[in-house]
Amino acid sequence: MTPIDTADLERLLDAAARHRTNVAQFLEAVCDRGHVTQDEFDAAHSDDEFAQDELRSMAEALAFEVLAHRKAEAGMRALLRAGCDLLAIESEALRNSIRIVGNPDRLSDAPEDAHAVEAIREMEDWIASVKATLYPTTPEAEGGRNERA
């Protein structure tokens, strides 16, 4: 099953709001004109219709929740990307400060530089873990697969 597009969710919520308004206006007009009394309407509104209304309400609430989570996730992803960029700049500056002259791939093994070398490794490991989280390579890494699909 493919994920529902955010724009589709927003269109669905707009349509649900318009439908709810149209139904409410229709019911008010029917009751106001005396075609159906409120008691008759209430009696005709069966448990099945109530269950369908509840299901629609829950689906609408779920759509709002999904949209809120997607918005929050997009914000967090942007913050993580910005953090990775900043940390990459700092890591590179630190790396440049303890590189062996003439061999740009080798870092100093002097005891006084050990803390800087460890900090570089930690920064690069964090950047790699964030990138692996932001850009998974398999469906399982994105939270598993849909068993019903």
User: Is there a domain that residue 132 lies in?
Assistant: yes
pLDDT recorded at residue 30: 64
User: Is there a domain that residue 125 lies in?
Assistant: yes
Do 139 and 145 form a contact (C-beta atoms < 8 A)? yes
For residue 96, what are the domain limits?
Answer: 74-139
User: Is there a domain that residue 23 lies in?
Assistant: no
CA dihedral 30, 36, 40, 46 (to 10 degrees): -40
User: How many separate domains does the chain show?
Assistant: 1
User: Is there a domain that residue 84 lies in?
Assistant: yes
The predicted model scores a pTM of 0.56
State pLDDT tens for residues 43-58: 655 555 666 677 677 7
User: Is there a domain that residue 3 lies in?
Assistant: no
pLDDT in tens, the chain (149 residues): 567 778 877 877 787 777 767 666 666 766 666 666 666 666 655 555 666 677 677 778 888 888 999 999 999 999 999 999 999 999 999 998 898 877 778 888 899 999 999 999 999 999 999 999 988 886 655 555 444 43
Tell me which DSSP letter residue 107 carries: E
- Phi then psi for residue 107, to 5 deg, are -95, 155
